[in-house]
Structures are given as structure tokens and as C-alpha cells.
Amino acid sequence: LGHLMTFTSGLDCDANSDSIGSESRMWEQQDETDYWLYTARLPMLHDPGNRYAYCSGSANLVGASLAAAGGTTVYDLFDRLIAKPLKFGPYHWALAPNGEGYLGGGAYMRPRDILKIGAMFAANGAWNGNQVIDEAWVKESTAPKVAISAQTTGMSPEQFGNNYFGGSQAYIWRTDVVKSGETSYRSYEASGNGGQLLIIVPELDLVVGFTGGNYRMGGIWGRWRDQIVGGHIIAAMTDAR
């Protein structure tokens, strides 16, 4: 599970459409409707833990363990353990062809509800005085595990710059720093294609959410952390002090 949540499974799966395990090829094929089995049956390219490659299928495969442990679907677990305690409004969950919840992306939620998840993590798992997520898990899941670099991906510097933003991988969360002027602040974030971002800056008790439609244009939304959060939001907060 740790390898899946840090995208170091070693499976033939990355965001490149040439990879048999890529999200686009998984969704386009019609032979296997169970996406957990589709990913689990991929050939191994590397020993687990030796190579970083972002893979939506890896995040989705974690759902197999969640469903087995919880005895129900992943979307039922989310609804009971997260959405209801945080009083979510309407939301929609992406489903695989077999009807199981998909954990690789595609959920539709109100920005204010996405921000609640960030606020809960910023409060060490608490929401309105209730401990929704164990504090120890908040710390463990947001701690850097694997550097995201040309070396860990096996790419050339040029290839790496065209595919990744650096930083480190925690458990699904990506960790980095936000630069504001001469100061850098530790941050962790959930980032999705097009500019769906949830950025938490613990030192400032700051949570920022973005939605966007710049799909496959990471060069645009990949800069928002420093340009907008650091350049404007944090700058205004610190100036106000």
C-alpha cells in the first residue's frame, strides 16, 4: 500500500499514454471492467520502491484494500467517514465500469467542501471539535517519503521538466514549499489535472483551493502555488502582520 500511495509500485503504469497502465488506456479498453484487476495484472518494470512514476491506477488500486477492510464500496466509506461528518453538499463520484468507486480522480465536489478537507488536515484531523481522522495519520500521510526528481523517475532533466514539478511524494499528498518573497513555507497539496488544487500551508494555518480547466497544461497551473498563493495570498497575510 505504501508503494501504491507513493507511486513507486514498479508496475508498468505512469501518466504517459504509451504506458499500458496509463489512465487513458485503462479507460479506453473494454476487456476488463474491474480497474483494480486491470492495474494489479500489469507487468512489473522495476522492483517496488526503486522508481517513481505518477499513476492514477495506483491510487485507485488502494480502493481494493479500503473496500475489503470496510466491507462496502469506497464511495460509501467516503460518504460515511468524510462527507457526512464534514456536512458536504451535493457531490458526484466517478465510477469504474463495474460500478465501484474510482479513486484516480473525476469526483465533482463544491470548492467549499474541498476546502473543508484541507481545513480538517490543517487542524490535525479535527472538524468542529470532532476528531474525524486520527492525528497520527495526518502527520504520517503528509510526511515526505520519496523525492520527485530526474533521478527517482529515471528521466533526463529535460524529460523530467516536461512531466513533473519536483517536490516530494507523501501518501498521495505531494509536498513542496511555497515561496513568498525571501521566505519559503512547507506545504502539501492534492493536485489534479487542469488545476484542481488543494494546498495546505500548516505554519500559516492556510488552506487554498483552486479549480481550473487547463487540462494537460501543467506549465500553467503548476505555477499557481508560487504565483498566487505565495505571490499574493501569503504576501498579503504577512504584510498585514
**Within a 13 Å sphere around the CA of 100, how many CA atoms are in the beta-carbon half?**
22
Q: How far apart are CA 6 and CA 188, in angstroms?
A: 14
| Residue 128 CA to its chain's centroid (Å) | 24
pLDDT of 201: 97
pLDDT at 241 over 50: no
Residue 161 binned pLDDT confidence (cut-offs 50, 70, 90): confident
Residue 240 binned pLDDT confidence (cut-offs 50, 70, 90): very low
Residue 59 binned pLDDT confidence (cut-offs 50, 70, 90): very high
pLDDT of 193: 84
Q: Which residues on adjacent β-strands are paired with residue 196?
A: 192
pLDDT digits (tens, 9 = 90+) for 16-27: 778 999 999 999
- Which of 56-70, 151-165, 189-203 holds the top average pLDDT? 56-70
pLDDT at 84 over 70: yes
pLDDT at 46 over 50: yes
pLDDT digits (tens, 9 = 90+) for 115-151: 999 999 999 999 999 999 999 999 999 999 999 999 9
Residue 219 binned pLDDT confidence (cut-offs 50, 70, 90): confident
pLDDT digits (tens, 9 = 90+) for 94-103: 999 999 999 9
Q: How far apart are CA 150 and CA 127, in angstroms?
A: 38
